[in-house]
Amino acid sequence: MQEYSMQKESYIEQLNDNKMLKRILNSFSTITRMNVAVTNTDGDYLLIKRETDFCQLVRSTAQGLECCRSSYARAGMEAEKWNEPYFFKCHAGLIAWACPILLDGKHEGNFICGQVLMWKPDDYYIQEILEITKKLDIDKAALKKAAKKLEVISAEHMQAAADILFVTANYFAHSGTSTLDYQQQLRMISSWLWNENYNKKDQETVEQDILELEKEFFREIRLSQQESSRELLKNLAVKFFTHSRGKIEIIKGLSIEFISLLTRFATECGTNFEESIRYSFKRLNELEEADTVEKVILWLLTTGNIYIDLLTEKDVDPQETIINNAVSYIRSNYPSQGLSLKIIADHCHISPSYLSRIFKQKKGYTITQQVNRTRIEEARHLLQVSDSTIEEIAKKVGFNDRSYFCKVFKKQVGLSPSDYRKRF
């Protein structure tokens, strides 16, 4: 996804938009009845829950706001220094604490919590607060009223709350980074997708384009062309979006159909069937939960690129992959009397002449011989276990002419079908 140009947000800016974090902080504030905020290292509020009336008054003045910023920045530096919650008294005389938010050892910001009292304020303490804040030029009556509404929290309660926030900070600095990367990818997808759609306005041949792109995509994978396969996958994603006119359920349907083809293709190329199916079901569960177009497209690109990596490994001979696929297709379709080199080549997304040439080079015999070998192998089995006539068996394995079937059978086995049945 690195090709889609978009200015990358800082970790702390991405953290701000995280829905899980907002939910956690909201729950934390509801349970503890405490103010909690996310700040950057300069002490600026980026996200806040349950701000007290007292703090709103203090921060309503330019000087008060600057004092809060400085107070939080200093507390954050101390918390980062010791990598643990740091308790402090703010410039307005309230108790608070900072928990550092680190990413790869870098101090990105802080959780600031508290703005509480440790004992019920009496008139003397209220007067002390008013004295501390008199330089802020705030209405004393309003500030006094707000101070009396401050929460009184025990030391034990404060420590427990600080511990919870510290665990939260560590979670989002480690496990949470993948979630933030995901959000960043969604933004990039949105920007790229709408831009591509704007630049490709011709809607008339979209459906035909999809079929041609899919055919080209599978051909490039067979040839282990990783980069061109990725480009074709992106083109397909845009076509799905265009074809659906942005309707999420249609895009989901197209994506499921395409990945199902890719899963079957991977199995034909030698990928373990059970592993491939298990992986597909896991990915389908993620698609089921996708609730925006961007999430569906990101799912399609991510899943498709994983299969591209799997199928274009450098140590895999692309010609062997093509031949294995051809043999697998023959084994599944040998009863069809119309089975031909062209049909097999179309399935492999390559020209008949190319398939014929590499098959003979690798196997030492022709595609037609492979078809006949497969049919005769099944005919031998039917001659042993069924009561069908030779003519019926010939038709069941794909021969429309009894005499030609007998000729091919004797050439390969050394016995006529009748003699083979008698002997075995």
Q: What is the DSSP string of 72-132?
A: HHHHHHHHHHHTS-EEEE-TTS-EEEEEEEEETTEEEEEEEEEEEBSS---HHHHHHHHHH
Res 276 pLDDT > 70? no
Looking at the structure, tell me whether residues 307 and 382 fall in a common domain: no
For residue 190, what pLDDT is reported?
Answer: 67
Whether 204 has a pLDDT exceeding 50, the answer reads no
| 154, part of any domain | yes
Q: Using an 8 Å Cβ cutoff, are 75 and 91 in contact?
A: no
Inform me whether the pLDDT recorded for 333 exceeds 80. Answer: yes
One domain, residues 47 and 146: yes
Q: Which domain holds residue 215?
A: 200-311
| Cβ atoms within 10 Å, residue 168 | 19
Across the range 290-305, mean pLDDT stands at: 81
pLDDT for position 392: 92
Q: Which of 278, 311, 344 is the last residue of a domain?
A: 311
**Cβ partners under 8 Å of residue 404, min gap 6:** none
State which of 289, 311, 333 marks the end of a domain: 311
In this predicted structure, the answer to whether residue 421 has a pLDDT above a threshold of 70 is yes
Query: How many distinct structural domains can be found in the chain?
Result: 3
Pairing of strands 86-89, 35-40: unpaired
Does residue 364 fall inside a structural domain? yes
Report the DSSP beta bridge partners of residue 38.
47, 111
Q: Are residues 62 and 155 in the same domain?
A: yes
Question: Is residue 368, in this structure, part of any structural domain at all?
Answer: yes
pLDDT of residue 176: 47
pLDDT score of 146 more than 80: yes
Q: What is the pLDDT of residues 152-177, one digit of tens each?
A: 888 888 888 888 877 777 766 655 44
Which of 260, 281, 311 delimits the end of a domain?
311
Lowest-confidence segment of 268-272, 395-399, 404-408 by average pLDDT: 268-272
In a shared domain, residues 333 and 277: no
Half-sphere exposure of 393 (CA within 13 A, CB side): 24
How far is 377 from 221, CA to CA, in rounded Å? 31
- What pLDDT does 122 receive? 78
Instruction: Answer yes or no: is 58 within a domain.
Output: yes
User: Do 115 and 260 belong to one domain?
Assistant: no
Are residue 161 and residue 27 in the same domain, yes or no?
yes
pLDDT of residue 396: 92
pLDDT of amino acid 7: 41
- Confidence (pLDDT) at 180: 46
55-102 pLDDT, tens digit per residue, is 888 888 888 889 888 989 998 898 888 778 888 888 888 888 888 887
Q: Where residue 45 sits, what CATH number does that domain have?
A: 3.30.450
Scored b (16 or more CB within 10 A) or e, 358-367 reads bbeeeeeeeb
pLDDT above 50 (res 4):
no
Judged against a pLDDT cut of 70, whether residue 383 lies above it is answered with yes
Does the pLDDT value for residue 385 go beyond 70? yes
37 and 83 within one domain: yes
Are 279 and 334 in a shared domain? Answer: no
Higher pLDDT, 171 or 46: 46
Q: What's the average model confidence in pLDDT over 184-194? A: 65
Mean pLDDT of the chain: 78
Nearest to 224 by CA among 261, 260, 269, 182: 269
Does residue 110 fall inside a structural domain? Answer: yes
pLDDT for residue 196 = 63
Q: What percent of the chain has pLDDT over 70?
A: 80
pLDDT at 352: 87
- Token pair for residue 348? 């492999």
Tens digit of pLDDT for each residue in 233-271? Answer: 888 888 888 777 778 888 888 888 888 888 777 766 666
Q: Are residues 213 and 283 in the same domain?
A: yes
d(CA 146, CA 149): 5
Q: Do 134 and 238 lie in a common domain? A: no
> How are strands ordered across the β-sheet holding 86-89?
45-49, 35-40, 106-116, 95-103, 86-89
Which is more confident, 274 or 384? 384
Determine contact, residues 299/283, Cβ cutoff 8 Å. Answer: yes
DSSP characters over 218-257: HHHHHTT-HHHHHHHHHHHHHHHHHHHTT-HHHHHHHHHH
Element (H, E) at 37: strand 35-40
Residue 324's CATH number: 1.10.10.60
Confidence of residue 17 (pLDDT cuts 50, 70, 90): low
300 burial via Cβ count (<10 Å: 0-12, 13-18, 19+): buried
Helix 341-348 to helix 352-363 angle (10° resolution) is: 90
Q: Please indicate, yes or no, if residue 215 is contained in any of the structural domains.
A: yes
Alpha helices in 312-351 (DSSP H): 318-333, 341-348
- Asked, for residue 186, whether it belongs to a domain, the answer is no
**Helices first, then strands: H and E counts in the chain:** 20, 5
* pLDDT (average), residues 176-189: 56
Residue 295, pLDDT above cutoff 70: yes
Identify whether residues 148 and 208 lie together within a single domain. no
Amino acid at 409: F
Q: What percent of the chain has pLDDT over 90?
A: 7
Residue 51 shares a structural domain with residue 170: yes
- Within-domain flag for 195: no
Q: Which residue type occupies 218?
A: F
> Which run of H or of E encompasses 36?
strand 35-40
